[in-house]
Amino acid sequence: MRILREDSSLETFFSPKSVAIIGASEKLRFGYFVTKSILSRTDLRAYPVHISADKVMGVKAYKSVKDIPEVVDLAIFLVPSEAAPTAMLECAEKGIKHVIVLSAGFAEVDEVGKQRQEEIVRIARENGIRVIGPNCVGVTNVSNRFTTAEIDIDSLKEGGVAFIAQSGIFGTVIIDWAAANDFGLSKIVTLGNKCDVDEVDLLNYLEKDDKTRVICLYLEGIKRGRGREFIETFKRVSRNKPILVLKSGRTQAGARAVRSHTGSLAGDDRIFDAVLKQTGALRVDSVEELLDFAKVLATQPLPKNEGIAIITNSGSLAAMTCDELEKLHMKLASFEPQTTEKMKKIAPYWTSIKNPVDIGPAMLQVGSQILEAVLEDKNVGCLLIISSPPGILVKKNGMGLDLVPFYKFYRRIIDKHREKTIIFSSFGDYDTVQAAKEVFEKSGIPVISSVQIAARAIAALYQYKEYLEKSK
């Protein structure tokens, strides 16, 4: 059932110049916000298609896609599944080459739906049409703000992380989370039933997309017969960009759940895991890991050497980090003698200037100088700064300090050493964490709440580095 891949680029899905919305409606129901957002764009020509209305949201409507005065780049299906085969036929007659089927009611539901899906795939294949969906929320391109998802696109920040999911709801939730957390995304795609376009196609596309630095993938199963291409593509793309994979259906209960969810066959997880390792893709265990790892990989260079340094104001958080790092076979750097000498001159006698460097409440006074000493150490390839200052420092009824200028001092030092891998971790008082995000995340230094996830992100960087070195 593979479609002829005449159009090897999927770019048109993300940057169409003309769009037909088949089943556009003014009713506040599924598809309303997609219609509204696309019809209001000034950078593309949008044509609502509606069986009876003359206008949709004030824009001239057409009875059929065939009546539209041009061959549009992209057709979006909002029509019920029973109307989809006819709509696809009309697209084919018109010569349209890209279709996103947002509607549900296909193979995920019953035998009738399955037949309808097979019908649209047959028509698409015979006419060289590429199809995303059905049963999805399609694509979102953060740089040109084009989206077929029901989201507030203007709240999204542009960044280097692409996200591919199967389920529309999950994709939407991730987008909403990103908007709420100022997390930079490049492109988001939900694939739904994957009747045509699948992860392999998207990896091929995103590999060349210069807005994307990291590719995140949520998977429930691999399409039957795509195993070999999956592996080859992962291997090749991994050499250019890191791929993070969150896969469910790892256990019997999980496999049953994905079968009811998207009809996917989860497969044997041990085999999947072993195969994935060979491809250089990095597997994560939770949404939280996925997002934090992506943030690190999208912004940080890979460590130049194996030495990891920690600077902290909290010995407890540093101790937990050391535990996690050692569990993952990571190594703490041994400082050069001159680094220790420099720190001795700066740090109060009651601090600990071994690695982890624990300067406690002296963090604000001498933090930037300590930072400088450690970053100048050639044994240090990666630095984790764990800064969780007490809230009383910044509270109005406390000392009322503004942490931002302090953190800007740190950043000035850090900016001289951007060739090193640098991660910030902050937890606790709301305002102190916000100050860290304000100063560091905005200049491309990831701020991670959990020290364990920060440690695991570091291990992921080293794992990826090893893959790249091996596959040279």
Q: How far is the CB of 68 from a second copy (least distance, A)?
A: 27
Q: Does 379 bind a second copy (CB under 8 A)?
A: no
Q: Which two tokens stand for residue 456?
A: 């695991």
Phi and psi at 212, nearest 5°, equal -105, 125
Instruction: Report the SS3 class of residue 406.
Output: helix
Binders of a second copy among residues 175 to 204 (CB under 8 A) are 176-177, 179-180
108 touches 262 (CB < 8 A): yes
Residue pair 466/305 in contact by the 8 Å Cβ criterion: no
**Residues 42-71 within binding reach of a second copy (CB under 8 A):** none
Q: Which of 73, 90, 150, 198 binds a second copy (CB under 8 A)?
A: 150
Nearest to 164 by CA among 110, 118, 207: 207
- Rounded to whole angstroms, the Cα distance separating 347 from 362 reads 8
Q: How far is the CB of 453 from a second copy (least distance, A)?
A: 8
44 versus 362: smaller Cβ distance to a second copy: 362
Q: Which 411-440 positions form the footprint of a second copy (CB under 8 A)?
A: 427-430, 432
Please, what is the angle between helix 315-327 and helix 451-470, to 10°? 30
* DSSP per-residue string spanning 147-186: ESSSS-GGGPEEEEEEEEES-HHHHHHHHHHHHHTT-EEE
Among residues 465, 413, 403, 453, the alpha carbon closest in space to that of 433 is found at 403
Closest approach of Cβ 413 to a second copy, in Å? Answer: 22
344 binds a second copy (CB under 8 A): no
213-232 binders of a second copy (CB under 8 A)? 218, 220
* 35 binds a second copy per the rule CB under 8 A: no
Q: Which of 72, 217, 222, 258 binds a second copy (CB under 8 A)?
A: 258
Minimum CB–partner distance for residue 105 and a second copy (Å)? 7
User: In 3D, which of 248, 139, 251 has the Cα closest to residue 202?
Assistant: 139
Instruction: Note whether 25 binds a second copy by CB under 8 A.
Output: no
Give the C-alpha separation, 419 to 55, whole Å. 56
Q: Is 471 in the site for a second copy (CB under 8 A)?
A: no
**Residue whose CB is less far from a second copy, 182 or 336:** 182
Q: Which of residues 86-105 bind a second copy (CB under 8 A)?
A: 104-105
Give the interface size with a second copy as a residue count (CB under 8 A): 81
Name the minimum Å distance from CB 112 to a second copy.
11
| Residue span 287-326 as binding mask against a second copy, x where in contact by CB under 8 A, dash where not | xx------------------------xxxxxxxx-xx-xx
Q: Does 452 bind a second copy (CB under 8 A)?
A: yes
275 binds a second copy (CB under 8 A): no
Give ∠ CA 27-12-131 in degrees, rounded to 5. 65
Which of residues 171 and 446 has its CB atom nearest to a second copy in the complex? Answer: 171
Beta bridge partners of 447: 424
* Contact region with a second copy (CB under 8 A), list: 58-66, 90-98, 126-134, 144-152: 144-152
How would you class 163 by CB atoms within 10 Å of its CB: exposed for 0-12, middle for 13-18, buried for 19 or more? buried
* Nearest to a second copy of 226, 261 (CB atom): 261
Instruction: Find, among 403, 388, 366, the residue nearest to 314 by Cα.
Output: 388
Contact call for residue 270 and a second copy (CB under 8 A):
no
Minimal distance in Å, beta carbon 208 to a second copy? 27
**Residue 349 binds a second copy, judged by CB under 8 A:** yes
- Tokens representing residue 9 in the block: 């680029």
Which 156-175 residues touch a second copy, going by CB under 8 A? 165-167, 169-170, 172-174
Q: Does 286 bind a second copy (CB under 8 A)?
A: yes
Residues 6 or more apart whose CB falls under 8 angstroms from that of 240 comprise: 207
